Amino acid sequence: MTESPPAVELTGITKRFPGVVANSDVHLNVRAGEVHAVCGENGAGKSTLMKILYGMQQPDEGTISIDGETVRLRNPQDAIGAGIGMVHQHFMLADNLTVRENVLLGAEARHGLGRAARARMAELAESTGPRANLDTLVEALGVADRQRVEIVKVLYRGARIVILDEPTAVLVPQEVEALFDTVRGMTARGYTFLFISHKLDEVRRIADRATVIRRGTTVGTVDPGTVSSRELAEMMVGSALPSPETEESTVTDRPVLRVTGLGLTADDSDRAVLDDVSFTVRSGEVLGIAGVEGNGQTELVETIMGMRAAASGTVELVGADGDVRDLTRLGTLARREAGIGYIAEDRTRHGLLRNRSLWVNRILGHQTRRPVSNGRVLDPAAARADTRRIVAEYDVRTPGVEVAAGALSGGNQQKLVVGRELSGDPALLVAAHPTRGVDVGAQALIWDRIRAARRAGLAVLLVSADLDELIGLSDTIRVMLRGRLVGEADPATVTPTELGSAMTGAGDDTAGTHTGGGDPGAVRDGRGSGPADGGSGVHA
């Protein structure tokens, strides 16, 4: 019996950019009907390789074969014509259009506009698509349903080979399971998936095989069922990872950040985005905020940082001597000068100037503080020298500090931001999704630096969609739902599934009530509980 040709075969793919070889002699063989993971650090060449496969970039050398036939993919239209679809990490949907209109947009010629189009769309939506009605506006959908719309879009265009780029980055555990069920059902019907992810436990659960790319070239292809996540990570970084250490609590009784009765209304209505939010973060403590995106976490961070004006409540920073400074009416720079480090949720919008050098980016938010300034005049030489220190200490991979920030991979950009924000001994670090989209090596380094700063007395407010990150770094976790803090969890005992249930309000219309009987690992109702000052109820 003749063996079927691979669904996708990349042979000797090489791609050069000025001064950089992104891919060097990469080989990838994907069987029809399998889930094939592509793993590697940020900057390893995964994104470039997927862009080549989707026709967004052209290889300098090498060949692409689909179902045994060599093809030239000059643009995404060629890729779509060859049966390849791509679901990007950042969804490409029009919020003001319905599900049906988003799926149809740009594909009118394929099934027409009439009965055949409606029937095909309904068929795909029934088997793999959103649970919402096809006439629902996309703006009314949650993250998981938006992702399903993207999957329906590529299938509607005839894709049999689907690239999923970091598909679980913003999903809670229950949504991840639903996505995996969809993928398994589709592979059973003959679809093929390329699964790009930094979450190696998920790779091992969903992938039939995994190809590891390191520094632009193929390291090898393995069966994820026969290797551990640690072994897979070590293939990615090319060296042994340090063994995790169990740490004793460093939480003290000294408050650093005190938020009381914080309220915020939407810009276009009187709807409450934040509703009576109160908590305290103490010296040596990481307080984690868990929640499905869109429930007020972004607005909470931006209000604490002075980027939004609170409708009610106070934000106070407490000094080591007990002096209380009311920050509620101060601007962002004044709050940073008071001793707050800030890792922004979107580094490209609020954390970096992509077209400026690394040393200029080192100055951002620190322009009145040493060593980059004497308070009145900037010192470019000192800024360059301190940037070189950050590059060395945080393993920022760059030819030099004059390089534009946009030339670095996402992980290296994030390491620069973290290094900058932990410079100058801040009293408080507000960290929003500090390792989103970074590889396992960068993640380990960032976690290590945050833990070290915490041991030295730093107070950390951590907002993250990564439940493993929240559980691994936090001393206490508070759950946010519809703009309120509704539950509290002990990271030592709570499971991701319990935390995910509380985040979605499962089993309780008002959210987060006791979800586990007498189980100490369950999330406790946080309404009206905890210290009188609205603190985090740390069990240190």
CATH of the domain at 195: 3.40.50.300
Tens of pLDDT along 322-346? 999 999 999 999 999 999 999 999 8
d(CA 127, CA 140): 21
Give the type of residue at 338: A
Q: Is residue 460 part of a domain?
A: no
pTM check: above 0.85: no
Tens of pLDDT along 106-160? 777 777 777 888 888 888 887 775 566 788 898 888 778 888 888 999 999 999 9
Q: Is residue 317 part of a domain?
A: no
Name the domain boundary from 384, 409, 425.
425
d(CA 168, CA 170): 6
- Provide the 3-class DSSP secondary structure of residue 184: helix
Domain count, the chain: 2
d(CA 309, CA 311): 6
Along the 540 residues of the chain, how does pLDDT read in single tens digits? 567 899 999 999 999 988 778 999 999 999 999 999 999 877 788 889 999 999 999 999 999 999 999 999 999 999 999 999 999 877 888 889 998 888 888 777 777 777 888 888 888 887 775 566 788 898 888 778 888 888 999 999 999 999 998 888 777 788 888 899 999 999 999 999 999 987 888 899 999 999 999 889 999 999 998 998 888 888 988 876 665 555 678 899 999 999 999 999 987 677 889 999 999 999 999 999 999 888 999 999 999 999 999 999 999 999 999 999 999 999 999 999 999 999 999 888 889 999 999 999 999 988 888 888 887 889 999 999 999 999 999 999 898 999 999 988 888 899 999 999 999 889 999 999 999 877 777 888 899 999 999 999 999 999 998 888 999 999 999 999 999 999 999 998 998 888 988 888 764 443 333 333 334 345 666 543 333 333 332 222
Q: Do 356 and 211 share a domain, yes or no?
A: no
Name the domain boundary from 197, 214, 230.
230
Q: Is residue 235 part of a domain?
A: no
Spatial strand order in the sheet of 524-525: 340-343, 428-432, 459-463, 286-290, 476-481, 484-489, 524-525
Residues 6+ apart with CB under 8 A from 518: none
Name the domain boundary from 382, 399, 425.
425
d(CA 374, CA 261): 37
Closest CA to 197 of 233, 235, 166, 231: 166
Structure tokens at 126: 């029934």
Residues 6+ apart with CB under 8 A from 96: 137, 138, 139
Q: Is residue 133 part of a domain?
A: no
Q: How many CB atoms lie within 10 A of CB 508?
A: 16
Q: Do 220 and 362 share a domain, yes or no?
A: no
Q: Is residue 213 part of a domain?
A: yes
Q: Is residue 250 part of a domain?
A: no
Q: How many CB atoms lie within 10 A of CB 75?
A: 13
Closest CA to 465 of 250, 318, 289: 289
Q: How many CB atoms lie within 10 A of CB 294?
A: 12
- Provide the 3-class DSSP secondary structure of residue 298: helix
Q: Please report the DSSP string for 504-520 in residue order.
A: HTTT-TTS----STT-T
Q: Is 6 in contact with 32 (CB distance < 8 Å)?
A: yes
- Domain range for 38: 1-83+160-167+183-230
